[in-house]
A and B are shown apart, each in its own frame.
Chain A
């Protein structure tokens, strides 16, 4: 598929990276010659140096016959005009990064319609939504939804002393009486697609699938309850902070935002009525303690500096804050932070590139490939894919225990008539089902038939 990306900054280059990985024909446009050269050296793409609103440049980049056109510069207006031009030139689908709240709240629908945008990308808002989901289920470190929220994959870490530690997977269902499936386990750097004899240990990160009521049932029997985070402290008054605070306030949580810049504080207090806005330097531990760090339910580090977020999050974790979320953009740092013991790491650019890859896959799906949605889980070490079962899949109506699956592949769920089934060995795949498959990332699945030997 031919894809043109305008702007190869943090967001643009992450999108570019994952699209090249997917095997698309990618053209990158950037005004900075150095950036373009670097991109061309690193990836198998065509680079064009120039402005994304220059007709000749867009033509040179082939925007007129692009399947997807993505404008991901830091300027909303430029992105919108660029997408508008590309659309008029003949690009099939246009995606603009629009992150200013001004455009995002009431106007977005109008803008999208008038500019004929296929999607408006707001990395900040997407990141805020993800953080909000985690704060709703504080025991999870990451939550992904499938099939219009009928089915979820939750990543959580088995804490020391948890009832799960030391259990064999085959004994779990009998003990907990809840229908769920542990479909992937990360231990250290390794990712396992576990079989029934796999024994869990404290410190493992597990990926768990179940329907929402079942998850709540399981959590209750694990003694984790379903307590939501009530009081959240947010460090840094960025756009993400704004979106997150809005959502938290709307669902009745207490929000405290700490921000250094006076103007930003004023802005925030004007737009967020119920939030407590503190002007001060969040790197000062004294200030954090004074504002009640050790009594809150959740702490979210959203400053512009990855390093600062990591260090302050570690401090918050030592103060026994139950849930600590840190925004870390650079992959290398995210890995380091995970080693230092931070569980919840959110990278806006990663989220955005996942959304785009999913969009591209869905487009391909409409043209033959059967992947409905795709999520990366466990720090990109495993993938979860949703397939539609179409006529060409031969192994229908065979109990799963008789299916010979390839190594490191697991059927995590079946959705039949919009109802999720957590499959056991007796279940079968039937026509028109949706099947959710977990696979270690070293394999690439394009079709449901790829899972059987």
Chain B
């Protein structure tokens, strides 16, 4: 166990966060919000000093890390990141409770977008920006960012970088775009930045104010969903809502496909099975919900717009809202509840189980049923034209089982709250899938303020579990990981 390297990398992460505090500081300077300026400056210095000290103390001689260190680094990096990220909220008094601030920051970094704020509009611009910017960082991953920007001096120490890469990127099978992990990380971040800028341009062209455009662009990119208005996006023009709908769907697509598009490998993109399942699911859901909510809006274009927006928001795990879907008919709500489980494609910034996992799960079912019929048959499960090896198959099944156990565990733990079944169940599902809003009292126009501190901690853990895809956290707290056995 290379403890120094773990400590060192966590220090790096905190230092990087200190540098990134410059961005909300700039926003605060632009709006001349004196308190935010002071508190972001304090946080910046604190993070830099702390990160710097950690790196100094633990300068590792041996930089080799294995899978186990990779998992532990990712877990502690994310916890440290969230703790440090909540400092400005607490010291400025804008979110005075430590638990609330931690919940809000975890919700930001895990791109959940579940909020305990009851009055968003009273927050300062600096804090609102930082809150949404955590989505952008958490979406693609902070360790991936570190990998992309910090120069490595020799080939050997980055050799095991794949362990971290895999732990932070979402999906059952993670491939590289180019041979070096560092270059892959760079490409991903360039694509991510490019798409975010594109959305920003579209929003600002549609007349959305500058600040709102930035916040919503970064919020969509990370598939987060923190809004800056009490009614989320209901108050903006239909054009802006359509732009955000489309970009929510785009950010739920595997980023590798955008890279292949740039390389003009159209065949690879258009024969991608996962993409088609994703699009088909969206199309069918939108169709049913549009028909189902027609009586409420009495006009096709509004129904289509609201249903598309909400479906895109849920399946991409963003969680913006243009309508209070709590008021919708039960059929629509149930469809959305199911979409929460599915989530976006592997290799995107979206949460949930991921489309490719769902596809593999169904194929495993098909395979096993066929085996019951023909006990001697040999069948292989294929995805994207390639056979998926047995190891991946069993790990997908295990993942699903573990996911259900943790989901139900979360549900049980937050059931101490005197809230309805619908509220608690949807809150648990929403948090572990990094969606944001749930139903009933946890609905899109309400929030998580009703929960006690204990439940907030439980839900924070659920969000981290969902974002890091369970294993890193479970392993980091599994006793055998730390013993020398």
Q: Tell me, yes or no, whether A binds B.
A: yes
Q: How far is it, in angstroms, between the C-alpha of A20 and the C-alpha of B176 when the chains are bound?
A: 16
Question: When the two chains form their complex, are residues B159 and A20 in contact, meaning their CB atoms are under 8 A apart?
Answer: yes
- The interface residues of chain B lying within 8 Å CB-to-CB of A308 are none
Q: How far is it, in angstroms, between the C-alpha of A23 and the C-alpha of B157 when the chains are bound?
A: 11
- Nearest-CB residue, chain A, relative to B66: A41
Question: When the two chains form their complex, are residues B161 and A44 in contact, meaning their CB atoms are under 8 A apart?
Answer: yes
Q: Is A27 an interface residue (CB 8 A)?
A: yes
Residue among A27, A42, A46, A49 making CB contact with B159, cutoff 8 Å: A42
Q: How far is it, in angstroms, between the C-alpha of A40 and the C-alpha of B173 when the chains are bound?
A: 13
Task: Mark B181-200 against chain A: 1 for CB-CB distance below 8 A, else 0.
Answer: 11100000000000000000
- The interface residues of chain A lying within 8 Å CB-to-CB of B305 are none
Question: When the two chains form their complex, are residues B67 and A44 in contact, meaning their CB atoms are under 8 A apart?
Answer: no
Q: Is B155 an interface residue (CB 8 A)?
A: yes
Q: Is A364 an interface residue (CB 8 A)?
A: no
- The interface residues of chain A lying within 8 Å CB-to-CB of B178 are 25, 46
A249 to chain B, nearest CB (A): 43
Q: Is B158 an interface residue (CB 8 A)?
A: yes
Question: When the two chains form their complex, are residues A44 and B181 in contact, meaning their CB atoms are under 8 A apart?
Answer: yes
Q: Is B375 an interface residue (CB 8 A)?
A: no
- The interface residues of chain A lying within 8 Å CB-to-CB of B180 are 25, 44-45
Residue among A20, A22, A25, A42 making CB contact with B183, cutoff 8 Å: A25
Most buried by A among B159, B161, B175, B178: B159
Q: Is A431 an interface residue (CB 8 A)?
A: no
Q: Is A286 an interface residue (CB 8 A)?
A: no
Give the bracket for the number of chain A residues in contact with chain B.
Answer: 10 to 19
Q: How far is it, in angstroms, between the C-alpha of A21 and the C-alpha of B154 when the chains are bound?
A: 8
Q: How far is it, in angstroms, between the C-alpha of A43 and the C-alpha of B158 when the chains are bound?
A: 8
Question: When the two chains form their complex, are residues A27 and B179 in contact, meaning their CB atoms are under 8 A apart?
Answer: yes
- Nearest-CB residue, chain B, relative to A48: B175
Q: Is A26 an interface residue (CB 8 A)?
A: yes
Most buried by A among B155, B161, B386: B155
Q: How far is it, in angstroms, between the C-alpha of A213 and the C-alpha of B392 when the chains are bound?
A: 63
Q: Is B162 an interface residue (CB 8 A)?
A: yes
Q: Is A33 an interface residue (CB 8 A)?
A: yes
Residue among B154, B179, B181 making CB contact with A2, cutoff 8 Å: B179
Q: Is B156 an interface residue (CB 8 A)?
A: yes
Q: A25-B180, A26-B179 are in contact. Are A44 and B155 (CB under 8 A)?
A: yes
Question: When the two chains form their complex, are residues B179 and A33 in contact, meaning their CB atoms are under 8 A apart?
Answer: no
Residue among A21, A41, A46, A49 making CB contact with B179, cutoff 8 Å: A46
Task: Mark A20-57 against chain B: 1 for CB-CB distance below 8 A, else 0.
Answer: 11110111000001000000111111100100000000
Q: A21-B156, A22-B155, A33-B389 are in contact. Are A44 and B163 (CB under 8 A)?
A: no
- Nearest-CB residue, chain B, relative to A2: B179
Q: How far is it, in angstroms, between the C-alpha of A2 and the C-alpha of B162 when the chains are bound?
A: 19
Name the prevailing secondary structure of the B interface residues.
Answer: loop
Question: When the two chains form their complex, are residues B161 and A41 in contact, meaning their CB atoms are under 8 A apart?
Answer: no
- The interface residues of chain B lying within 8 Å CB-to-CB of A45 are 179-180
Task: Mark A246-280 against chain B: 1 for CB-CB distance below 8 A, else 0.
Answer: 00000000000000000000000000000000000
Q: How far is it, in angstroms, between the C-alpha of A43 and the C-alpha of B64 when the chains are bound?
A: 12
Q: How far is it, in angstroms, between the C-alpha of A49 and the C-alpha of B388 when the chains are bound?
A: 11
Question: When the two chains form their complex, are residues B162 and A20 in contact, meaning their CB atoms are under 8 A apart?
Answer: no
Q: How far is it, in angstroms, between the C-alpha of A205 and the C-alpha of B276 when the chains are bound?
A: 65
- The interface residues of chain A lying within 8 Å CB-to-CB of B182 are 44
Question: When the two chains form their complex, are residues B155 and A41 in contact, meaning their CB atoms are under 8 A apart?
Answer: no
Question: When the two chains form their complex, are residues A25 and B179 in contact, meaning their CB atoms are under 8 A apart?
Answer: yes
- The interface residues of chain A lying within 8 Å CB-to-CB of B156 are 21
Q: A25-B178, A27-B179 are in contact. Are A44 and B162 (CB under 8 A)?
A: yes
- The interface residues of chain A lying within 8 Å CB-to-CB of B160 are 41-42, 44
B151 to chain A, nearest CB (A): 12
B80 to chain A, nearest CB (A): 25
A218 to chain B, nearest CB (A): 38
Q: How far is it, in angstroms, between the C-alpha of A169 and the C-alpha of B317 when the chains are bound?
A: 73
Q: How far is it, in angstroms, between the C-alpha of A404 and the C-alpha of B180 when the chains are bound?
A: 37
- Nearest-CB residue, chain A, relative to B67: A41
A364 to chain B, nearest CB (A): 15
Q: How far is it, in angstroms, between the C-alpha of A437 and the C-alpha of B161 when the chains are bound?
A: 33
Question: When the two chains form their complex, are residues A44 and B389 in contact, meaning their CB atoms are under 8 A apart?
Answer: no
Q: A2-B179, A26-B179, A27-B179 are in contact. Are A43 and B159 (CB under 8 A)?
A: yes
- The interface residues of chain B lying within 8 Å CB-to-CB of A41 are 67, 160, 162-163
Question: When the two chains form their complex, are residues B155 and A23 in contact, meaning their CB atoms are under 8 A apart?
Answer: yes
- Nearest-CB residue, chain B, relative to A24: B179
Q: How far is it, in angstroms, between the C-alpha of A33 and the C-alpha of B173 when the chains are bound?
A: 13
A443 to chain B, nearest CB (A): 11
Q: How far is it, in angstroms, between the C-alpha of A43 and the C-alpha of B155 when the chains are bound?
A: 9
A338 to chain B, nearest CB (A): 23
Interface residues of A in 349-400 (CB under 8 A from B): none
- The interface residues of chain B lying within 8 Å CB-to-CB of A40 are 162, 176
Residue among B155, B181, B183, B386 making CB contact with A21, cutoff 8 Å: B155
- Nearest-CB residue, chain A, relative to B183: A25
- The interface residues of chain A lying within 8 Å CB-to-CB of B389 are 33
Interfacial residues, chain A to chain B (CB-CB below 8 A): 2, 20-23, 25-27, 33, 40-46, 49, 444
Known: A46-B176, A46-B177. 17 other contacts (CB 8 A): A20-B159, A21-B155, A23-B155, A27-B179, A40-B162, A40-B176, A41-B67, A42-B159, A44-B159, A44-B160, A44-B161, A44-B162, A44-B180, A44-B182, A46-B179, A49-B386, A444-B154
14 A-B interface contacts by CB (under 8 A): A20-B155, A21-B155, A25-B180, A27-B179, A41-B160, A41-B163, A44-B155, A44-B160, A44-B162, A44-B182, A45-B179, A46-B176, A46-B179, A49-B386
Interfacial residues, chain B to chain A (CB-CB below 8 A): 67, 154-156, 158-163, 175-183, 386, 389
